[in-house]
Amino acid sequence: MDSAGLNRLYVQEWADTSVSPCRVSVPIEASSESTSVRAFSTDTIQLRGAVRPMCGIIGHIGTRDALKTLLTGLENLEYRGYDSAGIAIQNGAGIAVEKRSGEVDELKASVADSSIDGSVGIGHTRWSTHGPPTDANAHPHTTADVAVVHNGIIENYAELRERLQEHGCRFTSETDTEVIPHLIQQYIDDGYGSERAFRLAIDELEGSYAVAAMIADEKTLYATRKGSPLVVGLEDDACFLASDVPAFLEYTDDVVFLEDGDVVIADKYGVEITDLAGNPVVRQPETVDWDPEQAGKGTYDHFMLKEINEQPTSLAQAIEGRIEPERGTIDLERFGPGTFTDVDSVQLIACGTSYHAALYGAFALRGAGVEATAVLANEYRVAAPPIDERTLVIAVTQSGETADTLRALDCATDEGATTLAVTNVVGSTAARKADEALFIRAGPEIGVAATKTFSSQVALLLVLAQRITADLGAEPVADAHKLLEALDELPAAVESILEGDEAGKIAKRFQQSHAYFFIGRGLGYPVALEGALKFKEITYEHAEGFASGELKHGPLALVSPHTPVFVVLGGQEDEKTLKNAKEAQTRGAPVVAICPPNHQATEVADAHLPIPETHDVLAGLLANVQLQLVAYHAADQLNRPIDKPRNLAKSVTVE
């Protein structure tokens, strides 16, 4: 034990002359060793955290060239999307800062011939919220002695800024972030040591943040988080700070996932984690078993296409070990038989694509006689159905960091509900906030448009629905055995869709259309919504999803020969849905049926996207794979930036 009562995990002489000799220590439990976490397989851990829309933090202290390491880290975080980038590096007598709006490549070009030389630094990719994407608004933000990068929102920045300005501070940006270096500077000027100044400054912040800071001439990084993820990467001779593991994965897979309120001091003596008051906290280092290659595009042109094609594997992982079709049994980790006997009703809360998965899950539960509703998480506080301690609230969120969903989860907890997170991210805020978590094991999803995580959410929600209905003695979602068998065959069914080439041809055929409509009934309805969302977000074309029966109540006015209508079939009351499609067809709209090859719709429709025969409950999931492909090819033919659509973030951590 050291003086702080902590074990030193890493003890290493560093060769670098600038920071040598030194040791890296991490507070861990006395007897513990680094735990191994199998990433994205059976005990999945999702490595993408989420900060405010699209921002990314990287920090490095060690023996490497900081400039190169930070730029690589920023490139690794590019998938999150951003509009400006910057770095700050301890560079001999002071901090060298370079930042600019635009791509990391532009930042790289601007420092290509620089003489910046140091091994300690911080970097950032910014997505603008307070102030446009200008060089001045890009991070790091600095004062005479302090450089700071920040993800999140400082809610009380206006009053802090006013106070600091009254004390003579001159602001050079429109950002909320800039108050942080000024606060730290002020405390330093008042005579406090750097660490104390950092803690005092952080104590003044309201809102959500992950912050990394550096003080001129100090080979130390200071960092903290509240509501925005921050992870520490540990190497024998280096330490990394990042908003997401891929930032440093090529250097180390030993990570510490920080919790809200943790403060990290990384210097030549080690990495120390405390609370804001300075009391040591115990954080278990974990080894993530993820090949950096997994996060690459491989032979695919886009992450989205890669992720669509990964669905046979990700679906297999979602259900692996959880269902036994032969015996008709379900084994959902902690959710054994009897877990949900105290539940009167189920509410699923989610946003965007996850909301569509939640609608799918709610429909399956209701079909089995369980009272279940999907509610948009951002509407939940104002429009939640009645909640009590017999309500099970399921937060469906791939990232586990969506602010709307987290706030709704808080609301459910406050009302006394039992909460469960269905997420892709071990260690995410949702997983930690909820009473329990169930992981979809989809693996890293880098493309902004959610694809494989939707499929895995749906598959897992269907398995969960079986467990809940069995516990409540309700009618199983469908014939339980048959559904489990069909789930077991799902990866192969998706594989057969991926082998086809129909989606690309359909996208080409309707390329000149004015708008794209998607309709479905029952489980086809959330798929219609999801088909339209996927299409619009990556093609930028007008696309809308409707319940097929709603078409005649208004949207039909929009239908013309230039508005193809995609019809999701293969589920419930197909004949009615087909009738609705024909109403559009009569008005000249080309109808594209998504259904098995021998379905009656193929005789009526103008075009056909085939899906294999499957259980009714799974037809929508398969249809959605075809719609993902149509959206992808349509966007590709339009040459859109598919993995990073304009204005969108992979995870949205503001309400």
Q: Would you tell me which residues interact with ligand F6R (CB under 6 A)?
A: 351-354, 397-399, 402, 405, 449-450, 533, 537, 651-652
Give least dist CB 359 to ligand F6R, A: 12
- Complex with ligand F6R: residue 252 or 626, whichever CB lies closer: 626
Bridge partner residues of 217 (DSSP): none
Q: How many CB atoms lie within 10 A of CB 42?
A: 11
Angle between helices 480-499 and 452-471 (to 10 degrees): 170
CA dist 57 and 86 (Å) reads: 10
CA torsion through residues 587, 591, 595, 600, sign: positive
Catalytic pick among 22, 55, 239, 595: 55
C-beta of residue 346 within 8 angstroms of C-beta of residue 525: no
User: What is the spatial distance between Cα 604 and Cα 606, in angstroms, rounded to a whole number?
Assistant: 7
Task: For residue 386, give the DSSP letter.
Answer: P
Give the residue carrying structure tokens 């849905």: 577
**270, 26 Cβ separation under 8 angstroms:** yes
How far apart are CB 392 and ligand F6R at their closest, in Å? 18
Distance CA 533, CA 545 (A): 8
CB contact at 8 A, 436 and 409: no
For residues 50 and 169, which CB has a smaller minimum distance to ligand F6R in the complex?
50
State which residue, 119 or 399, has the beta carbon closest to ligand F6R: 399
- The CA distance from 475 to 480, in Å, is 9
Pairwise CA distance, residues 431 & 397, whole Å:
10
CB of 529 to ligand F6R, least distance (A): 11
Q: Judging by DSSP bridges, how do beta strands 84-90 and 95-101 pair with one another?
A: antiparallel
User: Can you give the C-alpha Rg of the chain in angstroms?
Assistant: 26
Output the CA torsion sign for 167, 171, 177, 180.
negative
The residue (of 477 and 652) whose beta carbon lies closer to ligand F6R is 652
What single-letter DSSP state applies at residue 332? B
Shortest Å, Cβ 451 to ligand F6R? 8
Q: Is 351 a catalytic residue?
A: no
Nearer to ligand F6R, 55 or 212 (CB): 55
Q: Which is nearer to ligand F6R, 51 or 212 (CB)?
A: 51
Provide, rounded to whole angstroms, the least separation between the CB of residue 400 and ligand F6R.
7
For 130, which DSSP code?
S
Taking each helix axis from N to C end, the angle separating 480-499 and 616-637, rounded to the nearest 10 degrees, works out to 20
Q: Which residue is nearest to ligand F6R (CB)?
A: 352
Nearest CB to ligand F6R, comparing residues 363 and 454: 454
Between CA 439 and CA 42 the distance in angstroms is 10
Q: Where are the beta strands (DSSP E) in 55-158?
A: 56-62, 84-90, 95-101, 120-126, 141-142, 146-154
CB 232 within 8 A of CB 57: no
Q: How far is the CB of 306 from ligand F6R (least distance, A)?
A: 15
**Residue 288 phi/psi, 5° resolution?**
-90, 125
CB of 352 to ligand F6R, least distance (A): 2
Nearer to ligand F6R, 238 or 652 (CB): 652
* Cross-strand pairs, 374: 348
Kindly name the residue from 99, 108, 306, 650 that is annotated as catalytic: 650
β-bridge mates for residue 46, sequence order: none
Nearer to ligand F6R, 39 or 304 (CB): 304
Report which residue type is found at 412. A
Write b or e for each residue in 496-534: b if 16 or more Cβ atoms lie within 10 A of its Cβ, otherwise e.
ebbeeebbbebbeebeebebbbbbbbbbbbbbbbbbbbb
Instruction: Tell me if residue 650 is catalytic.
Output: yes
Six-digit token pair at 354?
């996850």
Active site residues: 55, 650
